Amino acid sequence: MKILMALAAVVFLAGCVNYAAERGIPQASGQIAEPPKISSPVTEEKFDYRDYRPPEESVDHPLLLKNPVARSPMPYFIINESEVNAYKYNLTLENIRIAFGAWENATKGKVKFIQVEEKPMEGIIIYVTPKNYYTYDIQPGASRQEVAGEASPVYYRYPNHSVIVGGEITVGPLYGTLENRVQIMHEIGHIMGFGHSNNSHSILFPVVAYSQEMTPDIREALDELYGNVPA
């Protein structure tokens, strides 16, 4: 009887060893079995913005740069210089997210904006502050108190186009309102290389109003500029 039990134990242990070996489980000898090999996913080649082909026809919207195209994904980092209460500040953060989403949709996914927790080497830096800001292009009849933000892109210049890699945005005192959201969209437009529009209904009109929107001429310009950029 003892002999039969000993044989059964040997068979059982042998089965456990085979089971462990088949599944890469560490053995009792102290040797660690190699894990099963997993095939690596194919890495797609990234789009080279130096080889970007600008549109053949001129874009029907004032531009700050020659055939600007923003590199994607574009990180953005927010620096809080404000002293407003948390509720109004959080509304501003929500407006920032909505504004970036509006530009993403307008580019049909050609440009993606990603918020990061550390200041990037290249990307968009957003300063949220309660101060008024003065810019060089104040329109006649507009007071300095009406200038609620400013922006400037950072870019590489090539013979036939410009590759935007970031910039700086300062958002002024209109916290939590629809004007605040339009103002942020306006400043992102400058980062994207767009100049001011003469259309008072456009988000790129120099004086902000809550009713302004992404007008067809902006969308058409984006279609032209990003026509040769993959999504």
pLDDT at 57: 85
**Residue 43 scores a pLDDT above 50:** no
Structure tokens at 88: 């109004």
pLDDT at 175: 57
Q: Which of 186, 169, 178, 188 is nearest to 94 (CA)?
A: 178
Number of domains in the chain: 1
pLDDT tens profile 56-83: 888 989 999 999 999 999 999 999 877 7
Which SS3 state, helix, strand or coil, does residue 79 take? strand
Its domain, for residue 196, covers 60-225
Q: Model confidence at 28, in pLDDT bands (50, 70, 90)? A: very low
pLDDT tens profile 97-145: 999 999 999 999 999 999 999 999 999 999 988 755 444 444 555 444 4
Query: DSSP letter string over 178-203?
Result: HHHHHHHHHHHHHHTTB---S-TTBT
Is 24 part of a structural domain of the chain? no
**Residue 12 scores a pLDDT above 70:** no
Is 118 part of a structural domain of the chain? yes
pLDDT at 148: 53
Is 71 part of a structural domain of the chain? yes
pTM of the model: 0.74
pLDDT at 141: 53
Phi/psi at 162 (nearest 5 deg)?
Answer: -125, 135
pLDDT at 95: 92
pLDDT tens profile 197-206: 999 999 999 9
Q: CATH code at 194?
A: 3.40.390.10
Query: Strand 68-70 to strand 113-115: parallel, antiparallel, or no bridges (unpaired)?
Result: unpaired
Is 180 part of a structural domain of the chain? yes
pLDDT tens profile 137-183: 445 554 444 445 688 999 999 999 999 999 999 886 555 677 789 99
Using a pLDDT cut of 70, give the percent of the chain over it: 70
Range in 10-19, 43-52, 163-172 the model is least confident about: 10-19
pLDDT at 108: 95
Is 218 part of a structural domain of the chain? yes
pLDDT at 189: 97
Dihedral of the alpha carbons of 108, 178, 136, 77, in degrees to the nearest 10: -60
Is 15 part of a structural domain of the chain? no
Is 53 part of a structural domain of the chain? no
pLDDT at 80: 87
pLDDT at 41: 39
Is 135 part of a structural domain of the chain? yes
pLDDT, mean of residues 205-222: 93
